[in-house]
Amino acid sequence: MVESGTEFIMGAPPGPTKTYSAHRDVTIDKLAPRINVYAKKLREVYFREGTITNIKGYFDPLRVRQPTDTIEKCIEEKVIPAVITKRDEFADLDLVLPWRTPFKITRSEHGHLRPWYVRHPETQEEIRVTCEKIDYHGHSRLPYFITFQRYIVG
């Protein structure tokens, strides 16, 4: 500690009366680069949270779902049945998608919110959809059904 009557030529050291840890004048120089890196990362996260990518994501169905494509049979074949629900003048469309489809949705940024494009297996028409729901098996926690909603602008 500093004794009374002692003078410092260059001034008193930072935090001379602090009895524990280090004074903020000493630590701020050491932490400044880390704080700047952390602030940069936060800005990137905030920017990504507010934007949805404009890159088109496609799903290519294997086929139109048939009455023989039960959920049990689809699980054995490692494919996912899906439905694009009816909306306005469009009817329901039942499809069979590759096994990786629900994982592609959940692992992408804003996967449940962003528009996806499904190519109709017979007409090759691009259908713009959003993921409404992915159903998971209660025991194995694997996906077994996907529900899409048509994305109609306006």
As a whole number, the mean pLDDT across the chain is: 84
Rounded CA separation 33/89 (Å) = 58
Predicted pLDDT at 105: 92
Predicted pLDDT at 53: 72
Asked whether the beta carbons of 117 and 54 are under 8 A apart, the reply is: no
pLDDT single digits (tens) 50-64: 677 778 899 999 999
Predicted pLDDT at 95: 95
Predicted pLDDT at 17: 60
What average pLDDT does this structure show over 146-152? 90
- pTM score over 0.75: no
Rounded CA separation 42/145 (Å) = 36
Q: Are strands 79-85 and 63-64 parallel, antiparallel or unpaired?
A: unpaired
Tokens found for residue 14 = 């930072």
Which segments of the chain belong to CATH 2.40.240.10?
58-150
pLDDT single digits (tens) 10-55: 666 666 565 667 677 777 777 778 888 888 888 887 777 667 777 8
| Top-tier CATH class for 58-150 | mainly beta
CB proximity list for 100: less than 8 A, separation 6 or greater: none
Rounded CA separation 106/101 (Å) = 9
Predicted pLDDT at 11: 65
> What 3-state DSSP class applies to 128?
strand
Predicted pLDDT at 154: 66
User: What's the Cα-to-Cα distance from 92 to each of 5, 8, 82, 121, rounded to whole Å?
Assistant: 90, 84, 10, 15
What average pLDDT does this structure show over 133-139? 92
